[in-house]
């Protein structure tokens, strides 16, 4: 193999990361990297290094990728967001924001949702101190508390996080007495575990390295234009699908038949495929298992072997040299060479990281140009290990340090061997190393000194990369880089064996899945949000196929999202790109002679980035997919929590009477042929949620404003009061919480107004707040207060019903209709419209 006869000047410094005094000689300008020094003769300086192709560009054919396959029929839950995990109060400095995990909120949520688990055992112990039914107290002992009275005081729904929540003296006594007993053990036992879990979730949200390498693969088939997409599907990503697709240059891909699938026992994290010596192999990594299949010429997978990895597998790669050889690495720090015939051979084992100490157990292994040498990587560096040599020794290929002028906090996220047995225009000794900031190309013959460095600036972790074959001989090879957030970059690498690898043109970005939004018809807000959420799902796989074509160089690009959606995008090499125009002259070494103005291209050669537009076929794909998506049921609530709300018990009779009003309102509206509004019926006649969110309090307000505008304000007020007073048993203590509570329940807002002469809340305070801001200090006040400072979701009513069923029938006559049915009439609207399901941390 030829080694570049003259390398780019580079300063070599050894030391830790982030040595700021090192002048950074790789300036990360794409043009700078392209300039190579002329060789010896000044004459040759005039026709130095191949010119940077200004117009080297892959043009997307549609503004964004479009869905190729129908969505999975299983509901998809996007999981917790930063909003669920972080503390939302407090003062932050602008320059150095700190993320604080909100343990207290999750803990109190747990206490609310799983009170039976949290307090059950203690409750049992203290049973004699509680009196459950409403019967008159016979006991004279002070230590017996009437549950009914306590629940009445709670009012069922105190605003979440409100520091001014009112406490009755009974509650206060109960909380003082019971607090230490009830809160202490739960908080201390659970707090630590919860904090750990939250930190893990937050870390995962920032960087989910489970999908490193990507879980989508393209297995080329018998015919050059037909191949198979291999990807996981299903809600748990545990069904491995094989979908035959034909990519024809110039038209959209054809999905051939239904996908075949294999049901696995765990989520698929990584899918790798390689064709070595005409034999197509497929390797799959799950959390604790790895498996290899052999794909026959007909495209049928035949299982070869399954491997169990006790500590958890973090990476798998197929050898590009020998059929059926794999490199597997696990969290324990072990790297094994695995052949289905001969089994496992441990090559390397070190629980410590390579260069400096880093807590991440992530490990990676790949092959090199020598079939018996593997690379072993972790967050701090990459090492080359000879599998036949003595254990433990090896040579560092990449070091997170001053050698590659790494920044402070820079870590390796992906290491990939770029050599392939295919005819390559790049040397087969190159390795790609990605960190969160930059991309490095390292030649294994000159370790530690990157041949090329490019600051990719991706706003998410680059966990997927793929070097594609050159579209035509002599052209630069496209290198795809995919971020977990869906962002894609395409670099053009060139560098025949005798020259240093370099960027042949400025890197470009490709449309992400979120750019597909414009291809969909406009939807009503709820569906639009659902669609957007789906498009925003993290990317977990990337595959590309280059269909051979005589006329145009095309690139078929497939994305896989965490929701299991496979999107497709077609790219075309721009006409202006000189590389493939004269394909007969690969790597033409004689560019036109330079004049000082040669840098200015003639206007005719100036690329005009054509604006891609949606083709009818693509939009058809989009709307078909969307239709199917909207049919997919929403993820069911994870768990229906018990509730202590008792207002259904206390107030359902009045609500029943409302039913008549609903009917009357409906009839009136029908006869008049006008829209039925909420004020006409008081509340909604069925449990069906209205489409507009947060209509409850707003309607209240607008109704009032309407009346006031027509000069009937006082009238209305009296009327409201009258109605509210009818609900005689309602607690009257919500005065101050009105503004916040309106967020939770349209009902409470109305009832709160019952407090006689107090002025109604001012309009701006009633405006719906999507999520209330917790006060800055309540956490010091302990859990007891927060317990009831929260709205009661409707899903708990089922549990309440169960709870009620256990109670002996009280004098309230709950036999004629189940209370939950009645209550749902009132309370469903506001709950169902909650902007987003609160995640429950998987309890």
Partner 1 sequence: MSDFSGELTRPMAEADQVEKSMLSGTGMSIPWLRKQMETVETGGKKEKDFAKTTSACLGLIQEALLKHQWEKAAEYMHSYFQILEDSDAGKRQAAPEIIWRLGSEILYYHPKSNVETFSTFADRMKNIGVMNYLKSVLLLLQISLQHALYLLHHGMLEDANRSLSQAETWRYGEKSSSQDILINLVQAYKGLLQYYAWSKKKMELSKLDEEDYAYGTATQNMRSHSWKTSVNLSALIQIPGVWDPFVKSYVEMLEFYGDQDGAREVLTNYAYDEKFPSNPNAHVYLYNFLKREKAPKEKLISVLKILYQIVPSHKLMLEFHRILRNSDKEEHHKLGLEVLFAILDFAGCTKNITAWKYLAKYLKQILMGNHLAWVQDEWRSRKNWWPSFHFSYFWAKNDWTEDKALACEKALVAGILLGKGCRYFRYVSKQGHQGLKKKMKRMNRAVKSYSIVDP
What residues from 253 to 292 belong to the interface with partner 1 (CB under 8 A)? 277-279
Q: Pick from 5, 308, 671, 816: which binds partner 1 (CB under 8 A)?
A: 5
Query: Measured between alpha carbons, how far is 521 from 566 in angstroms, rounded to an integer?
Result: 19
- Shortest Cβ 499–partner 1 spacing (Å): 12
Query: Measured between alpha carbons, how far is 707 from 717 in angstroms, rounded to an integer?
Result: 9
From residue 530 to residue 569, the character string flagging contacts with partner 1 as x (rule: CB under 8 A) and all else as - is: ----------------------------------------
- Check residue 508 for interaction with partner 1 (CB under 8 A): yes
Of 727, 730, 707, the residue nearest 658 (C-alpha): 727
Q: Pick from 15, 83, 117, 344: which binds partner 1 (CB under 8 A)?
A: 83
Q: Pick from 24, 254, 552, 777: which binds partner 1 (CB under 8 A)?
A: 24
Question: In this structure, what DSSP letter does residue 584 have?
Answer: T
Q: Pick from 304, 455, 656, 692: which binds partner 1 (CB under 8 A)?
A: 455
Q: Pick from 212, 317, 427, 823: which binds partner 1 (CB under 8 A)?
A: 427
Contact set for partner 1, span 219-238 (CB under 8 A) = none
Pick 237 or 503: Cβ nearer partner 1: 503
Give the sign of the dihedral formed by CA 532, CA 534, CA 540, CA 541.
negative
Contact set for partner 1, span 310-339 (CB under 8 A) = 320-323
Exposed, middle or buried: residue 682 (CB in 10 Å: 0-12, 13-18, 19+)? buried
- Check residue 125 for interaction with partner 1 (CB under 8 A): no
Give Dmax (Cα) for the chain: 111
Of 565, 571, 508, 564, the residue nearest 545 (C-alpha): 571
- Shortest Cβ 455–partner 1 spacing (Å): 5
- Shortest Cβ 108–partner 1 spacing (Å): 18
Which residues make beta-bridge pairs with 476? none
| Span near partner 1 by CB under 8 A; candidates 45-53, 244-252, 543-551, 651-659 | 45-53
Query: Measured between alpha carbons, how far is 483 from 481 in angstroms, rounded to an integer?
Result: 7
- Shortest Cβ 174–partner 1 spacing (Å): 32
Of 54, 7, 13, 237, the residue nearest 607 (C-alpha): 54
Of 233, 367, 228, the residue nearest 295 (C-alpha): 228
Residue matched to tokens 């999975």: 72
- Check residue 144 for interaction with partner 1 (CB under 8 A): no
- Check residue 302 for interaction with partner 1 (CB under 8 A): no
Query: Measured between alpha carbons, how far is 446 from 428 in angstroms, rounded to an integer?
Result: 13
In 3-state terms, what secondary structure has residue 428? coil
Contact set for partner 1, span 634-693 (CB under 8 A) = none
Query: Measured between alpha carbons, how far is 309 from 740 in angstroms, rounded to an integer?
Result: 51
Contact set for partner 1, span 374-393 (CB under 8 A) = 379, 388
Residue 284: other Cβ atoms inside 10 A: 26
Pick 169 or 357: Cβ nearer partner 1: 357
Query: What distance lies between CA 369 and its chain's CA centroid?
Result: 35
Contact set for partner 1, span 562-601 (CB under 8 A) = 594, 596-601
- Check residue 370 for interaction with partner 1 (CB under 8 A): yes
- Check residue 82 for interaction with partner 1 (CB under 8 A): yes
- Write out the E strands in 287-333: 289-295, 301-308, 313-318, 326-330
Contact set for partner 1, span 754-813 (CB under 8 A) = 771, 773, 776
Mapping DSSP onto H, E and C, the string for 116-139 reads HHHHHHHHHHCHHHEECCCCCCCC
- Check residue 81 for interaction with partner 1 (CB under 8 A): yes
Residue 21: other Cβ atoms inside 10 A: 7
- Shortest Cβ 14–partner 1 spacing (Å): 8
Q: Are 392 and 351 in contact (CB under 8 A)?
A: no
Contact set for partner 1, span 170-209 (CB under 8 A) = 199, 203, 205-207
In 3-state terms, what secondary structure has residue 350? coil
Pick 205 or 517: Cβ nearer partner 1: 205
Contact set for partner 1, span 605-624 (CB under 8 A) = 606-607, 609
| Span near partner 1 by CB under 8 A; candidates 167-175, 238-246, 352-360, 529-537 | 352-360
Query: Measured between alpha carbons, how far is 662 from 680 in angstroms, rounded to an integer?
Result: 7
- Check residue 449 for interaction with partner 1 (CB under 8 A): yes
| Span near partner 1 by CB under 8 A; candidates 287-295, 305-313, 457-465, 711-719 | 457-465
- Check residue 88 for interaction with partner 1 (CB under 8 A): yes
Q: Pick from 15, 16, 25, 300: which binds partner 1 (CB under 8 A)?
A: 25
Site for partner 1 (CB under 8 A): how many residues? 123
Exposed, middle or buried: residue 543 (CB in 10 Å: 0-12, 13-18, 19+)? buried
């Amino acid at each position: 193999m030829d080694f570049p006869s003259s390398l780019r000047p580079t300063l070599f410094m050894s030391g830790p990361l982030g040595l700021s005094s090192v002048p950074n000689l790789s300036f990360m300008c794409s043009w700078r990297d392209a300039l190579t020094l002329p060789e010896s003769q000044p004459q040759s300086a005039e026709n130095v290094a191949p010119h940077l192709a200004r117009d080297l560009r892959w043009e997307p054919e549609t503004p964004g990728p479009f869905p190729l396959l129908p969505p999975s029929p299983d509901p998809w839950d996007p999981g917790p967001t930063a909003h669920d995990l972080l503390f939302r109060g407090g003062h932050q400095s602008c320059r150095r924001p700190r993320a604080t995990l909100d343990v207290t909120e999750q803990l109190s949520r747990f206490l609310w949702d799983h009170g039976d688990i949290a307090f059950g055992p203690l409750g049992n112990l203290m049973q004699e101190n509680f009196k459950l039914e409403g019967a008159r107290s016979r006991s004279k002992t002070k230590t017996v508390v009437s549950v009914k009275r306590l629940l009445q005081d709670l009012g069922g729904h105190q605003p979440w996080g409100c520091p001014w929540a009112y406490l009755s003296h009974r509650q206060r006594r109960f909380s003082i007495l019971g607090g230490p007993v009830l809160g202490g053990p739960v908080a201390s036992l659970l707090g630590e575990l919860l904090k750990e879990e939250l930190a893990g979730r937050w870390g995962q949200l920032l960087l989910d390295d489970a999908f490193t390498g990507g879980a989508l693969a393209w297995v080329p088939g018998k015919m050059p234009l037909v191949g198979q997409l291999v990807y996981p599907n299903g809600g748990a990503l545990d069904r491995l699908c094989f979908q035959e697709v034909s990519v024809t240059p110039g038209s959209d891909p054809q999905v051939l038949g239904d996908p075949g699938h294999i049901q696995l026992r765990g989520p698929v994290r990584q899918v790798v495929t390689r064709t070595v010596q005409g034999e197509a192999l497929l390797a799959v990594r799950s959390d604790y298992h790895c498996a290899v299949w052999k794909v026959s010429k007909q495209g049928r997978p035949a299982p070869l072997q399954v491997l169990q990895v006790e500590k958890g597998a973090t990476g798998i790669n197929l050898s590009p040299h020998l059929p059926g050889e794999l490199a597997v690495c696990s969290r324990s720090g072990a790297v094994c060479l695995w052949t289905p015939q001969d089994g496992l051979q441990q090559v390397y084992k070190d629980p410590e990281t390579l260069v400096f100490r880093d807590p991440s157990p992530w490990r990676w292994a790949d092959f090199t140009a020598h079939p018996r040498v593997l690379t072993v990587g972790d967050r701090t560096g990459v090492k080359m290990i000879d599998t036949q040599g003595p254990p433990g020794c090896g040579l560092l290929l990449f070091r997170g340090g001053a050698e590659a002028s790494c920044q402070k906090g820079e870590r390796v996220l992906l290491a990939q061997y770029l050599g392939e047995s295919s005819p390559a225009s790049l040397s087969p000794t190159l390795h790609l190393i990605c960190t969160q900031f930059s991309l490095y190309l390292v030649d294994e013959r000159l370790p530690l000194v990157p041949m090329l460095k490019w600051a990719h600036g991706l706003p998410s972790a680059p966990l997927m990369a793929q070097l594609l074959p050159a579209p035509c001989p002599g052209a630069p090879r496209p290198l795809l880089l995919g971020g977990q957030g869906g962002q894609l970059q395409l670099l053009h690498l060139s560098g025949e064996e005798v020259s240093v690898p370099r960027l042949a043109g400025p890197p470009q970005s490709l449309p992400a899945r979120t750019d597909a939004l414009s291809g969909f018809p406009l939807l009503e807000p709820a569906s639009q949000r659902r669609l957007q959420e789906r498009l925003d799902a993290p990317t977990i796989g990337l595959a590309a196929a280059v269909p051979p074509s005589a006329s145009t160089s095309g690139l078929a690009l497939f994305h896989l999202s965490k929701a299991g959606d496979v999107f497709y995008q077609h790219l075309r090499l721009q006409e202006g790109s000189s590389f493939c125009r004269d394909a007969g002259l690969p790597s033409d070494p004689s560019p036109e002679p330079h004049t000082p103005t040669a840098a200015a291209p003639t206007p005719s050669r100036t690329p005009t980035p054509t604006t891609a537009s949606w083709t009818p076929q693509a939009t058809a794909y989009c709307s078909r997919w969307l239709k199917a998506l909207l049919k997919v049921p929403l993820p069911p609530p994870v768990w229906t929590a018990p509730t202590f709300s008792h207002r259904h018990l206390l107030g359902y009779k009045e609500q029943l009477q409302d039913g008549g009003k609903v009917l009357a309102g409906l009839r009136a509206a029908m006869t008049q042929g006008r829209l039925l509004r909420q004020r006409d019926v008081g509340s909604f006649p069925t449990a069906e949620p209205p489409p507009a969110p947060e209509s409850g309090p707003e309607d209240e307000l607008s109704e009032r404003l309407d009346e006031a505008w027509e000069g009937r304000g006082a009238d209305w007020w009296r009327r409201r009061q009258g109605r509210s007073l009818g609900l005689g048993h309602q607690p009257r203590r919500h005065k101050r919480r009105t503004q916040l509570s309106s967020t939770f329940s349209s009902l409470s807002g109305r009832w709160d107004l019952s407090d006689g002469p107090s002025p109604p809340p001012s309009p701006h305070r009633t405006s719906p707040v999507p999520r209330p801001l917790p006060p800055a200090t309540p956490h010091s006040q302990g859990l007891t207060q927060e317990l009831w400072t929260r709205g009661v979701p409707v899903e708990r009513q089922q549990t309440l019903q169960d709870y009620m069923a256990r109670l002996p029938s009280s004098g309230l006559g709950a036999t004629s209709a189940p209370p939950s049915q009645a209550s749902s009439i009132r309370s469903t609207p506001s709950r169902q419209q909650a902007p987003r399901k609160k995640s429950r941390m998987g309890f």
